[in-house]
Amino acid sequence: MNVPGIDAAHAILEDGAKRNPGPWVDHCRVAGAAARAIAGGHPALDGEVAYVLGLLHDIGRRSGGPGVADVRHILDGHAYLSELGFPDAAQICLTHSFPIKEVAAFATPWGELQPERHRVQEFLDGVEYSGYDRLIQLCDSLALPSGPVLLEKRLVDVALRHGFNAHTLAKWRAFLEIKQEFDAAVGGSIYAELEGVVENTFGVLKTTATTTPSALAEGVQPRRE
């Protein structure tokens, strides 16, 4: 796949963090670490590729900020990574938000971006999702900035911030189906691959130097107190 190397991906994310600091950066680190962990137990996916794709799936937020429509991040991320010459990573910037191929399912309105909305729908209609597309959809849906959590907690978190639309339940069902697919592929629950998921979901472990998103991204094991 045509994706940046790990060092380059780190540099791209750090540059984005300087341009637009925010919780999205740690969310990306957590998603990347989760993708690498799950891919490590998957017979057909590469952990390093999965890590890079998870790390950069929200890179379009580098140009975000107050007054910028949330949906812009998928468009800007696709454009940015395409410009850098990484079309496979650019695709993930679009597909990670659509476990169902319906642009109206995006969590917030498209507003005046109707031409872009039409182009994205055409793209989704014509693309066949790979295992990496599905993996990053999954990892995006279980990654809070503080660490990986049960899928349901993250879905509720998004709904509380952005509300429901006519496609929300269909999206939730799709996420749960993707989880079942990966459970089968890794031969058990994906949660067994994710360090700290119980602690982050239920708040039973204080955050230490080894449970930060940066530490998780580096593969450091959590220390229980």
Rg (CA), the chain: 16
On the 0-12 / 13-18 / 19+ scale of CB atoms within 10 A, 14 is exposed
Question: Using one digit for the tens of pLDDT, what is the confidence trace for 80-129?
Answer: 999 999 999 999 999 999 999 999 999 889 999 999 999 999 999 999 99
Which pLDDT value is given to residue 206?
52
